[in-house]
Amino acid sequence: MTNMKRTFPAIRAGLLVGISGGVLSKADVRLGDVVVGTRVMQYDLGKVIGDGELQPTAIPKVPHHSLGTAVSALHSIHELNPSRVPSILRLKLDGHPEYRRPSSPDRLFHATYEHESTTAGCEGCDQSKLVLRSRRTSDNIMIHYGAIASGNQVMRSGTTRDNVARKLDVMCFEMEAAGLMDILPCLSIRGICDYSDSHKSKEWQRYAAATAAAYARELLEELPVAKAHLNLTWMPNPHQFPLHERRQRLLNSLRFEQMDSRKSTIRTALAKTCRWFLSHPDYQAWLDPQNLTRHHGFLWISGKPGAGKSTIMKFAYSSMRSKSRNKHAITASFFFNARGEYLEKSILGLYRSLLLQLLEGYPDLQAVLDDPDINSQGQNGCPSLDVLKDLFRSAVSALGQRSFMCFVDALDECDEQQVVDMVQYFEELAEQSMNKGILLRICFSSRHYPYIVIHRGIRLTLEDQSGHGEDLATYVANRLQIEDPVLLEDLQTQLLRKAAGVFMWVVLVIDILNKEYRHNGLALRRRLAEIPSDLSELFKDILRCDNENIEGLLLCILWILFAKRPLQPKEFYHALWSGLSLEDLADAQIPDVSVPDASDSLDRFKRCVIGSSKGLAEITKSKQPTVQFIHESVRDFLLKERGLHELWPDLGFDWESSSHEKLKQCCDSYMNHTLVRAYISNVLSEAKADLQTGISKRYLFLEYASQHVLYHANAAAEAVPQDEFLSHFPVSNWISVNNIFEKFKVCEYSQDASLFYILADKGFPELIRTRLKEDPHIHVPGERYGYPLFAALANSNKDVVAALLNASLSVRNGVDITEGLNHRKDLKQYAYRTPLSWAAQEGRTSIVELLLQTETPVDDMDAKGRTPLSRASENGHKAVAELLIGNGADVNAGDNDGWTPLSRASLRGHKVVAKLLIGKGADVNVRDNDGWTPLSHASETGHEEVVRLLINKGSDVNVCDNDGWTPLSRASLCGHKVVAKLLIGKGADVNVRDNDGWSPLSRASDEGHEEVAKLLIDKGADVNVCDKEGWTPLSHVNASDKEGWTPLLRALQKGREKVAKLLIHKGADVNASNNYGWIPLLHAIEKGHKKVAKLLISKGADVNVRDKEGWTPLSRALIHGHEEVAKLLTDKGADVNVRHNDGWTPLSRASDEGHEEVAKLLIDKGADVNICDNDGWTPLSRALLCGYKKVAKLLISKGADVNVRHNDGWTPLSRASDEGHEEVAKLLINKGADVNAGDNDGWTPLARASLCGHEEVAKLLIDKGAD
């Protein structure tokens, strides 16, 4: 290692991957499991004390910060998704059977039993000495995070192993890490090959080494991610939410309900205590900016469990907050809570809370939230952990001259690796802040953490402080209720000496002594002497002190330890009654707590909690009070130190399962109580809100019992059979009660919901496995997601998926069968499909295989009549298709539309699947409900290889569908030249006509597919064939659709001019008209396509052709003002005086549309300016009607008759006067217009102008002699 460092000086960290011996602990470490070392302890380095015991003195070693961050990130990933270790093992070691999981059993013997067999194996050892452990549901390994013990010798003693493990809190033993980590910071990754005792075997060593290496491989892929940081110099995205709304949404995402719950439950310090802390030199030095370079803003308060650290922290935080209420100083806090929800005991909750307090305290810092990339694409809610850390760093960096102070309590109640990562992060942040002159201060408190070292900072050990001792003395003097002053003083002295600075011990002992004094007070000194000085031993002493209400004590402890959520006092009261009533230790009737005075009920609840727990539990003083232990050390004693098992050995080795069984029975008994069921059946018709209110007053435990009875049953099922419970479970009654308390209507169940669906939706895999033994019918449709399997997938519950498929785990053959299906809420759209058809469609071969093993019908049709094989074929999943066919799937089964699996495969171009189906007997000429064959589908979608396959297998190339279309028609329509050529080469008729009379050439021409059209013509297609409406292929080049677009217009955009040119060159009749009298030139002219029009004219198109309305190409050009096209037509001899059926001439049309230049062109070409239409209107009249003054002036200047009369007697001057065109009127008068000419109704121009209010025109007319 030293030589490597010298050779490669840039190496900063390493991975130590190997094997080790495991330790029996609550973590349940088994052979083959992986232990990731969050710290390494050298256990055999120390000094010998008093009785010869070795006291370790080695400094704990922690991994490099980058490795620790990567481990935390991977650990978080594994919280949601299974580890990839099994798949890595399968891929990398497939050809190395020696590294596979051994077939030999995993044996753990009692620590005191030494290996007896003369052979290396343990076949000859006494099997009665085996430790009974619950079986695991699968052989997949587990990954543990914790401390590793390292020494210079192999650990071969079970008793020594347990002693060392208990003292150092380690998970395994090895011989390398401690020495190597002195040279290079490393992360130790160990596979468990034995149990560090005399029962050693080499059978598991290779497999254990492989599992450790596989985890290392997975970790290495996470390392680059761990180094990524956001660039926080952002520009907001204007397309996102408005800035204020966006910021508020992100702030709201940081907030969580239990942010301050732990702090609120900590009792306020007794009067006159804790004040010493504020004047303590270390605290003052921490506050002094001059000392910042020395301590970097860190103050770490450590102390024994129960010493009073949280009380000090709350006192200091409150004091500082009250002093720093100004715009330049913010004080924030976070109190870890091991008894709370995940966010209360994780660094994710810490960062969310501190960041929120900082941004709300200094609103200008909210600018850090303006980056649109804070959340990844499609992600809602709170940003990720890494992003939160970057945001917090950026916000702190922007503090300027303002200060930010954080109090973070109870680090020991958070995951060890997370704490290491968090401390290192704050060290870096503190150094950066100090270099920038930013006043950042962090105060931590925790139990003694000898293995977490801060390089700079002030350390304060609470129990060593004189002020703390004075607080203890003050508390004793205030609370020890003894009248004899001499006895009182003696007891105080002895009590404070034995307390060793532990406040919790003092609190409990004073209660004991006061109780003893009230009894008779004759043995107080002896009783105090008998009380153990160790806090855990004191707990044991309290719990064993008498045999009163032992069952109530056990129930109390179990409810606090194992309830799904902390119970409210009223829930706890009835939960305790339910459990005691099962043992006939309580009244048969449910206790009535409906008293007028709520304080009376609360007092009753308090008495119940204190009495049943022997003073070790309390009701918290939070907004929503719950029942909890008086201190986390009580929980540690019961679980970590195995106090529960020691006090109640009857619970068995798997005491956790046994405990959940008891709690399940409490819930089940309460929920099915006669009075409860009667009440529910009578009030179900009431409104939901009224139901909840009525139940909350009468049956206090019903909500919890109904919501979590199945949770406790599932937790118990690993060791306690649940067959009978499930067989008698009242599903209908449970649904009625559950729906009352369900928050969201969409999550309620119908009365027809199956038990399997409920278990899958709620996430209870062990109960599903139990139920499957009696009832294999799991695929019953109904409810929100349709099937139980879909509910499990939608909720991303991999264990439930595995249970429903009767698999040991969701990882099968090294692959996660649910990979990519996390939180698939879109599964609602698959509600009409069966699980098998869905799995086949998704290509989930393993799921399909497992479903078939559950006797699911292989041709089980979904709501659309499609079989699983149809779904698999459509998506090209060959392996699934083979599996289904191998299990008897019908290859010719048609769905509701008559489509077969081959039709689906052909449409999508899946040649391999199509070949498989044909080889298994699929009909290549089968017709669906529309008459399409597989060849029709493949031809339209252009899948050449499938077309070739189908033809070679006998598919009819000239088969017509219900619309008369052949495969060649389909290929021509879509421009698939290669497919068309293939079909023609196999005998396809190029002149076949469909039901509308269209030929393949018509279809190709209409869509502008030049290459296909050329191919068809070369192969003999008739270029002059007409459809039923008389359209030729050339006509279709210019056909218009409903939106006014012609195929030609679209063709020109795509170059369809070449298609037209091709058809013309091949002899197309350019003057062939359809049933409406239209020829191609009319279509080209109307849209102003000069090049196409010129081409058609050059090929002899008639420029004076008239459609059935009498319109000529020139008329069509003029109505749209296509001057260039109009000029082209006139140059080619178009008649400028031709009249439509309504008498209009091209000049009439140009005048009516206001096309001055076109009108001038027509006049220059000889257009008659005075020609009248059928209504007697001249071009001048048309121009005046629409107010086109310039056109009117042009016409007048070219000799237009100013006194011509329409059929209704109107003159041009009448029209100009009526429209108010003063300038035109003046021109007409100057050209001789009669100012007094009357129309058929006797109206003169002056009358028209006056009627319409045109004063200037009227004045002009009068001036010119109008009567």
Helical H runs in 193-260?
A: 205-226, 243-254
Q: Rounded CA gap, 387 and 374, in Å? A: 7
Residue 47 lies in a domain: yes
Question: Residues 209, 247: one domain?
Answer: no
Q: What is the CATH number of the domain that holds 271?
A: 3.40.50.300
Is the distance from CB of 908 to CB of 843 less than 8 angstroms? no
Question: Residues 800, 842: one domain?
Answer: no
Q: Rounded CA gap, 807 and 847, in Å? A: 10
Ramachandran class of 723: left when φ > 0, alpha when ψ lies in -120 to 50, beta otherwise: alpha
Per-residue confidence (pLDDT) for residue 1029, from 0 to 100:
52
Answer with the one of 445, 463, 481 that is the final residue of a domain. 463
HSE at residue 445, side-chain half, CA atoms within 13 A, is 27
Question: Residues 190, 276: one domain?
Answer: no
Give SS3 for 618: strand
Residue 1008 lies in a domain: no
Does residue 233 register a pLDDT over 50? no
14: which 2 tokens? 């390493």
Is the distance from CB of 1126 to CB of 1164 less than 8 angstroms? no
Question: Residues 262, 216: one domain?
Answer: no
Does residue 281 register a pLDDT over 90? yes
Per-residue confidence (pLDDT) for residue 226, from 0 to 100:
37
Mean pLDDT of 780-797: 85
Q: Rounded CA gap, 580 and 612, in Å? A: 11
Q: Which residues contact 1079 (CB under 8 A, 6 or more apart)?
A: 1035, 1070, 1071, 1072, 1073, 1101, 1102, 1105
Per-residue confidence (pLDDT) for residue 377, from 0 to 100:
43
Any idea what the Cα angle at residue 557 is, between residues 556 and 563, rounded to 5°? 85
Helix, strand, coil share (%) of the chain residues, nearest 5: 50, 5, 40
Q: What is the CATH number of the domain that holds 197?
A: 3.40.50.1580
Is the distance from CB of 622 to CB of 264 less than 8 angstroms? yes
Ramachandran class of 521: left when φ > 0, alpha when ψ lies in -120 to 50, beta otherwise: left
The sign of the torsion formed by the CA atoms of 544, 545, 551, 553 equals negative
Q: Rounded CA gap, 1053 and 1065, in Å? A: 21
Any idea what the Cα angle at residue 611 is, between residues 605 and 612, rounded to 5°? 90
Per-residue confidence (pLDDT) for residue 240, from 0 to 100:
47
Q: Which residues contact 939 (CB under 8 A, 6 or more apart)?
A: 947, 967, 968, 970, 971, 976, 979, 983
Per-residue confidence (pLDDT) for residue 1041, from 0 to 100:
34
pLDDT digits (tens, 9 = 90+) for 984-1042: 999 999 888 888 877 888 788 778 788 888 888 888 876 555 555 544 454 544 433 33
785: which 2 tokens? 């997601």
Question: Residues 267, 392: one domain?
Answer: yes
Selection from 567-571, 621-625, 1172-1176 with the highest mean pLDDT: 567-571
| Full domain range(s) for residue 258 | 243-463
Does residue 38 register a pLDDT over 50? yes
Question: Residues 37, 184: one domain?
Answer: yes
Q: What is the CATH number of the domain that holds 923?
A: 1.25.40.20
pLDDT digits (tens, 9 = 90+) for 684-742: 777 777 788 888 888 999 999 999 999 999 999 988 999 999 999 999 999 999 999 98
Is the distance from CB of 172 to CB of 35 less than 8 angstroms? yes
Give SS3 for 1222: helix
Nearest to 1102 by CA among 1123, 1086, 1122, 1078: 1078
Percent of the chain with pLDDT over 70: 89
Does residue 1079 register a pLDDT over 60? yes
Answer with the one of 485, 503, 533 that is the final residue of a domain. 533
Least confident of 168-177, 228-237, 471-480, 578-587: 228-237
Give SS3 for 19: strand
Is the distance from CB of 943 to CB of 909 less than 8 angstroms? yes
Higher pLDDT, 1235 or 182: 1235
Q: Which residues pair with 562 in a beta bridge?
A: none
Q: Rounded CA gap, 443 and 450, in Å? A: 17
Least confident of 76-85, 369-378, 960-969, 981-990: 369-378
Is the distance from CB of 749 to CB of 739 less than 8 angstroms? yes
Q: Rounded CA gap, 707 and 565, in Å? A: 11
DSSP code string of 369-438? GG-TTSSPTT--SSPPHHHHHHHHHHHHHT-TT-EEEEEEE-GGGS-HHHHHHHHHHHHHHHHHHHHTT-
- Phi, psi angles (nearest 5°) of residue 46: 180, -160
Does residue 1066 register a pLDDT over 70? no
Q: Which residues pair with 459 in a beta bridge?
A: 300
Per-residue confidence (pLDDT) for residue 900, from 0 to 100:
96
Q: How many domains does the chain have?
A: 6
Question: Residues 898, 774: one domain?
Answer: no
Residue 905 lies in a domain: yes
Residue 874 lies in a domain: yes
Number of H helices, E strands in the chain: 62, 16
Per-residue confidence (pLDDT) for residue 47, from 0 to 100:
67
Cα–Cα distances in angstroms (integers) from residue 124 to residues 30, 131, 825, in the given order:
21, 16, 55
Nearest to 29 by CA among 151, 159, 180, 131: 131
Q: Which residues contact 900 (CB under 8 A, 6 or more apart)?
A: 870, 891, 892, 893, 894, 922, 923, 926, 928, 934
Question: Residues 767, 862: one domain?
Answer: no
Q: What is the mean pLDDT of the chain?
A: 84
Q: Which residues pair with 160 in a beta bridge?
A: none
Answering whether pTM is above 0.75, one says no
Q: How confident is the model at residue 1060 (pLDDT cuts 50, 70, 90)?
A: low
Q: Rounded CA gap, 538 and 505, in Å? A: 8
Answer with the one of 533, 556, 581 that is the final residue of a domain. 533
Question: Residues 209, 248: one domain?
Answer: no
- Phi, psi angles (nearest 5°) of residue 16: -100, 105
Cα–Cα distances in angstroms (integers) from residue 128 to residues 198, 524, 577, 1154, in the given order:
17, 47, 39, 110
Question: Residues 427, 529: one domain?
Answer: no
Cα–Cα distances in angstroms (integers) from residue 112 to residues 109, 131, 157, 193, 654, in the given order:
8, 11, 8, 20, 20
Mean pLDDT of 614-642: 88
Residue 34 lies in a domain: yes
Q: Which residues pair with 130 in a beta bridge?
A: 109
Is the distance from CB of 22 to CB of 35 less than 8 angstroms? yes
User: Residue 997: what residue type?
Assistant: G
Residue 412 lies in a domain: yes
**Tokens 């997370």 sit on residue:** 418
Is the distance from CB of 840 to CB of 871 less than 8 angstroms? yes
Give SS3 for 239: coil
Does residue 807 register a pLDDT over 50? yes
Q: Rounded CA gap, 828 and 247, in Å? A: 32
User: Residue 745: what residue type?
Assistant: K
Is the distance from CB of 813 to CB of 846 less than 8 angstroms? yes
Using only C-alpha atoms, what is the Rg of the chain?
A: 45
Higher pLDDT, 1046 or 425: 425
Is the distance from CB of 809 to CB of 835 less than 8 angstroms? no
Residue 232 lies in a domain: no
Cα–Cα distances in angstroms (integers) from residue 516 to residues 817, 1046, 1238, in the given order:
63, 104, 130
Is the distance from CB of 1222 to CB of 1257 less than 8 angstroms? yes
Q: Around Cβ 362, how many Cβ atoms within 10 Å?
A: 18
Q: What is the CATH number of the domain that holds 799?
A: 1.25.40
Any idea what the Cα angle at residue 1207 is, between residues 1205 and 1213, rounded to 5°? 30
Is the distance from CB of 1166 to CB of 1136 less than 8 angstroms? yes
Q: Rounded CA gap, 669 and 674, in Å? A: 10
Per-residue confidence (pLDDT) for residue 1147, from 0 to 100:
86
Question: Residues 119, 93: one domain?
Answer: yes
pLDDT digits (tens, 9 = 90+) for 146-198: 899 998 888 988 899 988 888 888 999 998 887 788 778 889 999 999 999 98
Question: Residues 257, 133: one domain?
Answer: no
HSE at residue 1237, side-chain half, CA atoms within 13 A, is 21
Is the distance from CB of 445 to CB of 300 less than 8 angstroms? yes
Residue 1017 lies in a domain: no
Q: Around Cβ 293, how many Cβ atoms within 10 Å?
A: 10
| Per-residue DSSP letter, 326 | B
Beta-strand pair 14-22/170-174: antiparallel
Gap between the terminal Cα atoms of the chain: 122
User: Residue 198: what residue type?
Assistant: S
Is the distance from CB of 856 to CB of 804 less than 8 angstroms? no
Per-residue confidence (pLDDT) for residue 5, from 0 to 100:
66
